[in-house]
Amino acid sequence: MTTETNLLTADDLLRLHSEGVRGELIQGALCETMSTGVEHGEIVMELGRHLGNFIAPQRLGRLIGSDSGVRLERAPDTVREPDIGFISADRMPLGERITTYSDVVPDLVVEIVSPNDDADNVFNKARMWLSFGVRLVWVVQPETRSVEVHRSGQPVETVAEDEQLDGIDVLPGFSCTVASIFGS
């Protein structure tokens, strides 16, 4: 006995989103996502504010949030949602209006660990982003008030609450204390 699976496309996912279904596509399969809570949202806004205050005046690129979606594969489609993504202006022009998912992989992705996230899944998601060409992934750990820094071919580095989070070569000159992204 065989079971036929109907794979969804990125266009199907956009339609479902307009009908109130929230999720990502992984090789055509819908993975519904849930709201992540106030703490998660506050961290997104704080870190987004720090990044935006650095990026916008210099017109360095675009910041995107989780509902934006990034198409990573086609046929079958994979669309993932970083909590925060940065795409440099030289890879995605600032004046260009884009009403669907981005086909440009971010330079920087931020993932914030939620209370119901499994540590292995978050680590694997960071590695997945790197495998698609993201240059820098920050995994924010609210429980330990730290940030894990993932870069291709490099060991994971942990930045503690009292240390500076650095944009390295992706956002040269950007830094903020880890404590500040937790509202401290």
pLDDT in tens, 117-160: 888 888 999 999 999 999 999 999 999 999 999 999 999 999 99
pTM of the model: 0.92
Specify the DSSP class assigned to residue 102.
B
Instruction: Give me the architecture of the 36-71+78-181 domain, per CATH.
Output: Alpha-Beta Complex (3.90)
pLDDT in tens, 102-120: 999 999 999 999 888 888 8
Over the chain, what is the mean pLDDT? 92
**∠ CA 107-25-35, rounded to 5°:** 85
Helix (H, G, I), strand (E, B) or coil at 49: helix
The per-residue b/e assignment along 15-26, b for 16 or more CB within 10 angstroms, e otherwise, is: ebeeeeeebbbb
Report the DSSP beta bridge partners of residue 86. 63, 108
Q: Give yes or no for a cis peptide into 172 (omega within 30° of 0).
A: no
